[in-house]
Amino acid sequence: MHIIAVEFRIHPANASQFREAILRQAAKCLSLEPDCHQFDVCFGIDDSAHCFLYEKYTDQAAIEFHRSTPHFAEFKKAIEPWVESKDAKLWQCTQ
């Protein structure tokens, strides 16, 4: 399995818009991408503008498919002005 871990810092004024958008994105990925097995969305307990994603895919091809989908492109374009910073890392899971 391949893991994408992403940490976002969102402009505080856009935190609620981002929350709605990322929850829709997670639901779309899980329903439209058969090789997306997990898409967890986490927010800071004391900071709603701090978001962490944990996404699990079958393999690198599934990640490439994910990044080529229309819903990913739409999501990326929508959130771009709301994001202060983004740190994404790829991992390989042994389980």
Q: What CATH number has the domain bearing residue 43?
A: 3.30.70.100
Both ends of the chain: CA-CA distance in Å? 7
Query: What's the total number of domains in the chain?
Result: 1
Q: What is the mean pLDDT of the chain?
A: 97
Residue the block writes with tokens 């374009």: 77
pLDDT tens per residue across span 50-79: 999 999 999 999 999 999 999 999 999 999
3-state secondary structure the chain: CEEEEEEEEECHHHHHHHHHHHHHHHHHHHHHCCCEEEEEEEECCCCCCEEEEEEEECCHHHHHHHHHCHHHHHHHHHHHHHEEEEEEEEEECCC
pLDDT of residue 58: 96
Question: What's CA 10's distance to the chain center, in Å?
Answer: 13
Question: Could you list the residue range(s) of the whole structural domain that residue 23 is in?
Answer: 2-92
